[in-house]
């Protein structure tokens, strides 16, 4: 009997041509495409095999069983070398491998041993990626723009509540989608559709669901991970052999972050090993063709701020598939045939919930995702080496665009800086100690005093409510005598006879006389926007006493006669004051960028450029409005003609303005980036020369310090800074419309907290 069964099994191992194999019982003669006798013979063999397989091997044989049953079990066990029976055995093993806690409990001895062997080392495991690999990958990603995240985990309000956990799952789903999309378009194809999707794993049935649907159906408490999967319409809930990688949301991962004395716990590592082994087992049963070895799986560990990578490598064919003892077999395989690598836990999201794409925490997660895509999609069209090779040329292009000198390396290995500018090398800085002031001609208005001005043959009175002194110029907040509830900005200019002796009076001339001209031109050209100041009144002061100016024109002997006055609206707090008071955050940064760009977009249609964007020239309006907004003020240095010159500010002027004393198309946007950098906490160095200011700009842009700082607040601001950097010094205009749309999508008018949206 045993010999006969062995003979039949041997026949089954080599089926006739055209027959698919033991697992494919249901076929027709026409599908087989072979002669009927061969089909008949093979069907007989299959029939015998069915009898063997009808035996329930999941149950242990009864005690005192017959010798025939024992021989059947023995021969069937021997037949597991065949592909069909081995496949069934693997499937049975996988179907029983469902409990991560059981696996974790049986790994305790192993974990204690390797922890003891590691001693005082931070981690008992090697890292999955070397720093040189991450550096090269970082260079390759320099030109990659990742999608702005709308749904973000908020660490400030993180808690164990269902709402916080739901927000985190939605945010991780968006993060993984943006990662895969950015990598696919950068390395594989910008034209072909992305063949991957992101979904959450439900532990009870080990199926995948979209996060929103799972949360809406009350499955939040049962979610175990978030996965990146191959698109497969035939399997809407995913297949395990289609899983590229999994991300486990586990609170307090940050407790083992870099700089901490704590190590990764067995509960977290054991769960990561469980999911990694499930992926490897599923791939061993898959019919997919893997371009790279499928014997490597990546599991991400994340919370609302930090994250890391667990890499598991091993040949699952070396695993003993004992269906009665799946967890002990798995533990034995992990100990003997598996290599586990764990990356340091680093920050991925900042405290506001924005992804820091360029930081090492996000880089190692992106690098793991890159390798996962390679396993399923093959080697990319654009290799990491090819994209990283452009790093030097990008730096050179940036230097040439800014005309900052020779890019050759000198003996010290540093870039030699050369000033190439039409502006003077030495800039005279007036000493405050020699300011010439004449008390007779300086007008001082106190709170409560009333000032009258002559505007279009009529007199208007204004009562001073507040005096504002920004250490450079003084101006006032006043109310019309006829409308005390209305607030306006009131600027008092310099007496015409005092323009020569004092530099501060020239600044007053730009603030009052020149700005009056610019606002008048805007009104004449029909430029209107709530983000621009509105000209309320302008004219000359009506001084006390009788005016005795000559009939031929001019001014009388009174020191105030002829002093110009400018009145504008609306009134608000400057960005400089908001930063000093700690009231400038994420919402303010995005709204400020949007509103200022909107103002610049309006004026650019009439070829008017600001030329003096700085924190003191942007105000936030809150009074009388539902939602605060920003207004770009201080238009005294605006450029109307080629002969006009912008203001020179060592911290906030554009590179082109410092070099050429002119503005290019992107100059105002570049100045706005510097303002946002400062307002978001960026450090401004002490500068005392144009050369030093240009060197600081060169260093900041080449090292991406500005982008990294803005990225801590918002990825859309970081992307905007990259965009402006690419246009600096070029004649290409700013595409205001596209950036206004992107910024508008990130402004939440309904509430000031985090908003969970339905679109990216």
Q: Does the pLDDT at position 8 exceed 60?
A: no
Considering Cα of 155, then 156, then 160, then 164, what sign does the dihedral take?
negative
pLDDT at 750 (0 to 100): 54
pLDDT at 623 (0 to 100): 87
Contact 436, 415 (CB under 8 A): no
Q: Do both 580 and 563 map to the same domain?
A: no
The verdict on residue 584 lying in a domain is yes
The pLDDT-based confidence of 361 (bands split at 50, 70, 90) is confident
C-alpha span between 275 and 308 (Å, rounded): 15
Q: Which CATH number do you get for residue 605?
A: 1.10.510.10
Q: Does the pLDDT at position 54 exceed 60?
A: no
C-alpha span between 699 and 707 (Å, rounded): 12
Between residues 652 and 379, the one the model is more confident about: 652
CB neighbours of 271 closer than 8 A, spacing ≥ 6?
100, 104, 248, 250
Q: Which domain holds residue 3?
A: 1-32
The pLDDT-based confidence of 646 (bands split at 50, 70, 90) is very high
Q: How many angstroms separate the Cα of 675 from the Cα of each of 678, 679, 684, 706?
A: 5, 6, 10, 11
DSSP label at residue 141: T
The verdict on residue 383 lying in a domain is yes
In DSSP notation, 65-123 reads --HHHHHHHHHHHHGGGSHHHHHHHHHHHHHH---HHHHHHHTHHHHHHHHHHHTT-S-
Q: Do both 26 and 169 map to the same domain?
A: no
pLDDT at 657 (0 to 100): 92
Q: Do both 581 and 561 map to the same domain?
A: no
The pLDDT-based confidence of 464 (bands split at 50, 70, 90) is very high
Q: Does the pLDDT at position 116 exceed 50?
A: yes
Tens of pLDDT, residue by residue over 506-523, are: 788 888 999 999 999 999
Tens of pLDDT, residue by residue over 28-37, are: 333 333 334 4
pLDDT at 582 (0 to 100): 93
Between residues 594 and 303, the one the model is more confident about: 594
Q: Does the pLDDT at position 584 exceed 90?
A: yes
Whole-model pTM above 0.75? no
Q: Does the pLDDT at position 629 exceed 50?
A: yes
Q: Is 264 helix (H, G, I), strand (E, B) or coil?
A: coil
Highest mean pLDDT among 39-53, 181-195, 256-270: 181-195
Highest mean pLDDT among 46-55, 70-79, 691-700: 691-700
Q: Do both 630 and 539 map to the same domain?
A: no
Between residues 124 and 428, the one the model is more confident about: 124
Q: Does the pLDDT at position 61 exceed 50?
A: no
Q: Does the pLDDT at position 439 exceed 90?
A: no
Q: Which residue is it, tokens 């669901």?
A: 209
Q: Do both 636 and 723 map to the same domain?
A: yes
Q: Do both 144 and 243 map to the same domain?
A: yes
The pLDDT-based confidence of 170 (bands split at 50, 70, 90) is confident
Reply yes or no: is the peptide bond before residue 71 cis, omega within 30 of 0: no
Q: Do both 455 and 602 map to the same domain?
A: no
Q: Do both 380 and 454 map to the same domain?
A: no
Q: Does the pLDDT at position 652 exceed 50?
A: yes
What angle separates helix 131-140 from helix 384-402, to the nearest 10 degrees?
Answer: 60
Between residues 264 and 440, the one the model is more confident about: 264
CB neighbours of 91 closer than 8 A, spacing ≥ 6?
285
Provide the number of structural domains found in the chain. Answer: 4
Q: Do both 622 and 498 map to the same domain?
A: no
The verdict on residue 638 lying in a domain is yes
Q: Do both 368 and 382 map to the same domain?
A: yes
The verdict on residue 674 lying in a domain is yes
Q: Which residue is it, tokens 């690098």?
A: 367
Q: Report the candidate in 686, 683, 728, 727 with the shortest Cα–Cα distance to residue 709.
A: 683
- Cβ burial 692-702 (10 Å sphere, 16+ → b, else e): ebbbbbbebbb
- Please, what is the average pLDDT of the chain? 78
Q: Is 133 helix (H, G, I), strand (E, B) or coil?
A: helix
Provide φ and ψ at 504, rounded to 5°: -65, -25
Lowest model confidence (mean pLDDT) among 100-109, 148-157, 248-257: 148-157
Q: Does the pLDDT at position 630 exceed 90?
A: yes
Q: Does the pLDDT at position 708 exceed 70?
A: yes
Q: Report the candidate in 377, 368, 373, 264 with the shortest Cα–Cα distance to residue 313.
A: 368
Domain end position, chosen among 359, 375, 392: 392
The verdict on residue 45 lying in a domain is no
The pLDDT-based confidence of 2 (bands split at 50, 70, 90) is very low
Q: Which CATH number do you get for residue 454?
A: 3.30.200.20
Tens of pLDDT, residue by residue over 391-404, are: 556 555 555 554 44
pLDDT at 459 (0 to 100): 85
The verdict on residue 60 lying in a domain is no
Mean predicted confidence (pLDDT) in 211-226 = 82
The verdict on residue 648 lying in a domain is yes
Q: Do both 496 and 590 map to the same domain?
A: no
The pLDDT-based confidence of 79 (bands split at 50, 70, 90) is very low
Domain end position, chosen among 374, 392, 410: 392
Q: Do both 567 and 601 map to the same domain?
A: no
Q: Does the pLDDT at position 161 exceed 60?
A: no
Q: In percent, how much of the chain has pLDDT > 70?
A: 72
Contact 703, 725 (CB under 8 A): no
The verdict on residue 528 lying in a domain is yes
Provide φ and ψ at 505, rounded to 5°: -70, -30
Q: In percent, how much of the chain has pLDDT > 90?
A: 35
Between residues 719 and 294, the one the model is more confident about: 719
C-alpha span between 246 and 310 (Å, rounded): 10
Q: Does the pLDDT at position 59 exceed 80?
A: no
Q: Which two tokens stand for residue 564?
A: 């110009």
pLDDT at 553 (0 to 100): 60
């Amino acid at each position: 009997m045993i010999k006969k069964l062995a003979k039949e099994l041997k026949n089954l191992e080599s089926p006739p041509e055209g027959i698919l194999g033991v697992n494919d019982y249901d076929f027709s003669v026409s599908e087989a495409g072979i002669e009927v006798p061969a089909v008949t013979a093979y069907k007989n063999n299959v029939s015998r095999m069915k009898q063997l397989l009808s035996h329930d091997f999941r149950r242990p044989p009864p005690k005192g069983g017959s010798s025939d049953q024992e021989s059947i079990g023995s021969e069937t066990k021997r037949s597991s070398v065949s592909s069909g029976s081995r496949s069934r055995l693997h499937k049975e093993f996988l179907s029983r491998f469902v409990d991560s806690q059981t696996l974790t409990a049986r790994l305790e001895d192993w974990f204690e041993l390797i922890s003891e062997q590691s001693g005082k080392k931070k981690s008992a495991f090697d890292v999955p990626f070397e720093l040189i690999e991450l550096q090269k990958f970082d260079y390759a990603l320099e030109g990659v723009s990742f999608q702005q995240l709308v749904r973000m985990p908020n660490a400030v309000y993180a808690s164990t509540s269902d709402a916080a956990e739901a927000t985190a799952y939605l945010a991780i789903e968006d993060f993984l989608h943006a990662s895969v999309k950015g990598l696919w378009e950068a390395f594989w194809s910008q034209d072909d559709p992305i063949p991957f999707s992101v979904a959450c794993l439900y532990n009870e049935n080990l199926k995948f669901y979209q996060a929103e649907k799972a949360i809406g159906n009350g499955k939040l408490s049962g979610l175990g991970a978030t996965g990146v999967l191959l698109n497969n319409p035939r399997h809407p809930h995913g297949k395990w052999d289609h899983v590229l990688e999994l991300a486990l949301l586990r609170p307090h991962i940050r407790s083992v972050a870099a700089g901490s004395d704590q190590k990764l716990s067995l509960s977290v590592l054991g769960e990561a090993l469980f999911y990694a082994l499930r992926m490897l087992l599923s791939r061993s049963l898959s019919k997919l063709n893997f371009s790279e070895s499928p014997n490597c799986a990546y599991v991400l560990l994340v919370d609302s701020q930090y994250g890391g990578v667990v890499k598991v490598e091993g040949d699952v064919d070396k695993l003993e598939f004992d269906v009665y003892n799946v967890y002990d077999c798995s533990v034995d395989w992990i100990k003997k045939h598996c290599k586990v690598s764990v990356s340091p836990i680093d920050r991925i999201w900042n405290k506001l919930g924005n992804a820091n794409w360029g930081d090492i925490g996000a880089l190692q997660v992106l690098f793991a995702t890159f390798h996962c895509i390679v396993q399923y999609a093959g080697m990319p069209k654009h290799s990491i080496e090819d994209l990283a090779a452009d790093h030097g040329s990008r730096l050179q292009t940036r230097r040439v665009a800014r005309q900052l000198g020779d890019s050759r390396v000198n003996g010290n290995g540093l870039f030699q800086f050369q000033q190439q500018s039409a502006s003077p090398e030495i800039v005279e800085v007036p000493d405050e100690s020699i300011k010439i002031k004449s008390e007779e001609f300086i007008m001082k208005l106190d709170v409560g005093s009333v000032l009258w001005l002559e505007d279009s043959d009529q007199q208007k009175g204004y009562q001073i409510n507040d005096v504002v002194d920004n250490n450079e110029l003084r101006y006032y907040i006043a109310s019309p005598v006829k409308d005390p509830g209305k607030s306006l900005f009131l600027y008092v200019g310099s007496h015409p006879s005092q323009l020569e002796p004092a530099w501060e009076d020239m600044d007053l001339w730009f603030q009052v006389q020149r700005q009056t001209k610019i606002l008048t031109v805007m009104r004449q050209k029909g430029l209107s926007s709530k983000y621009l100041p509105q000209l309320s009144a302008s004219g000359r002061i009506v001084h006390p006493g009788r005016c005795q100016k000559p009939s031929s024109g001019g001014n009388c002997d009174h020191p105030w006669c002829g002093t110009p006055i400018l009145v504008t609206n609306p009134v608000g707090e400057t960005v400089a004051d908001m930063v000093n008071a700690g009231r400038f955050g994420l919402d303010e940064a995005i709204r400020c960028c949007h509103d200022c760009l909107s103002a610049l977009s309006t004026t650019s249609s009439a070829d008017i450029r600001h030329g003096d964007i700085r924190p003191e020239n942007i105000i936030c309006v809150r009074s009388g409005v539902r939602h605060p907004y920003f207004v770009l003020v201080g238009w005294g240095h605006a450029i109307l003609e080629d002969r006009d010159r912008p203001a020179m500010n060592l911290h906030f002027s554009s590179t082109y303005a410092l070099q050429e004393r002119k503005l290019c198309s992107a100059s105002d946007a570049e100045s706005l980036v510097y303002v946002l950098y400062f307002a978001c906490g960026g450090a401004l160095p002490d500068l005392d020369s144009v050369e030093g200011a240009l060197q600081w700009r060169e260093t900041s842009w080449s090292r991406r310090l500005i982008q990294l700082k803005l990225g801590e607040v918002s990825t859309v601001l970081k992307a905007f800074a990259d965009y402006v950097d690419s246009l600096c010094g070029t004649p290409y205009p700013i595409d205001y419309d596209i950036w206004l749309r992107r910024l508008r999508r990130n402004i939440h008018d309904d509430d000031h907290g985090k908003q969970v949206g339905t679109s990216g």
